[in-house]
Structure 1
Amino acid sequence: MTIPMKRLPPLPALHTFLITAQCCNFTRAAELLHITQGAVSRQIAGLESHLGYPLFLRQARGLALTDQGRDLYPRIQQVFSLIDEAVEEVGARRKALQLKAPTCAMRWLLPRLMHWQAERPDVPVELTTTIAYGVDFRRDQFDAAIIYATAPAGNIVAHHLFNEQLTPVCTRKLLDGPIPLDTPADLERHVLLHPARDKHDWENWLLAAGHTPGPLSGGHHFDTMDLALSVATQGAGVALGDWSLIGEDLANGHLVAPFDIRVPTGGAYFLVYPERTAPSPQLRELVDWLTAQAHGA
Structure 2
Amino acid sequence: MKPLPSLDVLKTFLVVDQKLNFTRAADTLNVTQGAVSRQIDGLEAHLGYALFARQARGLALTQQGALLVAPLQQAFAQIGEALAKGAAQSGTLRVKCPTCAMRWVLPRVICLQNERPEIVVEVTASVSHGVDFSGEQFDAAIVFGTPSLKGVSTHHLFDEVLTPVCAPELWKARRGKMPTPGDLAGKTLLHPTRDRRDWLRWLNAYGYEGLPSTKAQHFDTLDLAISSAMQGLGVTIGDLSLIEEDLGARRVIAPFSLCVPSGAAYYLVYPERPAPSPALQHFAQWIEGEARHTRTHLAAYTKPIHQPIN
Quote the offset at 1:134 in angstroms. Answer: 0.5
Out of 86, 103, 111, which is 2:107 matched to? 111
State yes or no: 1:211 paired with 2:208.
yes
* 1:157 alignment partner, SS class: strand
- Letter matched to residue 128 of structure 2: A
In structure 1, the partner of 2:199 is: 202
The residue number in structure 2 matching 1:228 is 225
Q: SS at the partner of 1:295?
A: helix
Aligned residue number for residue 185 of structure 2:
188
On the 8 A contact 2:158/2:241 being kept in 1, the answer is yes
1:99 partner letter: V
How far off its partner does 1:211 sit? Answer: 1.9
The SS at the match of 2:164 is strand
Asked if the contact 1:171/1:234 (under 8 Å) is kept, the reply is: yes
Q: What is the deviation of 1:143?
A: 0.4
Q: Does 1:270 align with 2:272?
A: no
User: After the TM superposition, which segments of 4 or more aligned residues of structure 1 sit over 3 Å from their partners?
Assistant: 91-94, 214-218
Structure 1 contact 185–211 (Cα < 8 Å) conserved: no
Q: Is the CA contact 1:181–1:187 (under 8 Å) kept in the aligned structure 2?
A: no
Q: Distance in 1 between matches of 2:215 and 2:233?
A: 13
Indicate how the Cα distance of structure 1 residues 158 and 263 shifts in structure 2: closer, same or farther if over 3 A, else same.
same
Equivalent AA in structure 1 for residue 156 of structure 2: H
Cα 1:184–1:96 change in 2 (3 A) is: same
- Give secondary structure in 2 for the equivalent of 1:118: helix
- Please show how residues 76-91 of structure 1 align to structure 2 within 5 Å: none
**Superposition map of 1:1-297 within 5 A:** 92=88, 95-176=91-172, 182-214=179-211, 217-296=214-293
Q: Contact 2:186–2:215 (CA<8 Å) still a contact in 1? A: no
1:75-123, CA deviations, whole angstroms, 9 ceiling, x for partnerless residues? xxxxxxxxxxxxxx9x957521111101110111111111100110011
- TM (norm. structure 2) is 0.63
Counterpart of 1:126 in structure 2: which amino acid?
Answer: E
Secondary structure of the corresponding residue to residue 165 of structure 1? strand
Alpha-carbon distance change, 146 to 176 in structure 1, aligned in 2, over 3 angstroms: same
1:177 deviates by: 8.4
How far apart in 2 are the matches of 1:233 and 1:123? 33
Distance in 1 between the 2:245 and 2:182 partners?
A: 27
Query: Amino acid of the residue matched to residue 96 of structure 2?
Result: K
User: 1:186-236: CA deviations, max 9, x gaps?
Assistant: 223211000011111111101112322347643011000000001111101
User: Which one has the largest radius of gyration?
Assistant: 1
Residue 182 of structure 1 aligns to which amino acid in structure 2? Answer: P
Identity %: 49
Aligned partners of 1:193 and 1:237 also within 8 Å: yes
Q: TM-score, normalised by structure 1?
A: 0.65
For structure 1, the 5+ residue unaligned runs are 1-88
Shift of 1:288: 0.8
Aligned to 1:20: none
SS of match in other structure, 1:163? strand
CA distance in 2, matches of 1:216, 1:173: 19
* Cα distance in 1 between the residues matched to 2:214 and 2:180: 20
**How many pairs are equivalent?**
209
Output the aligned Cα RMSD.
Answer: 2.5
Partner of 2:21: none
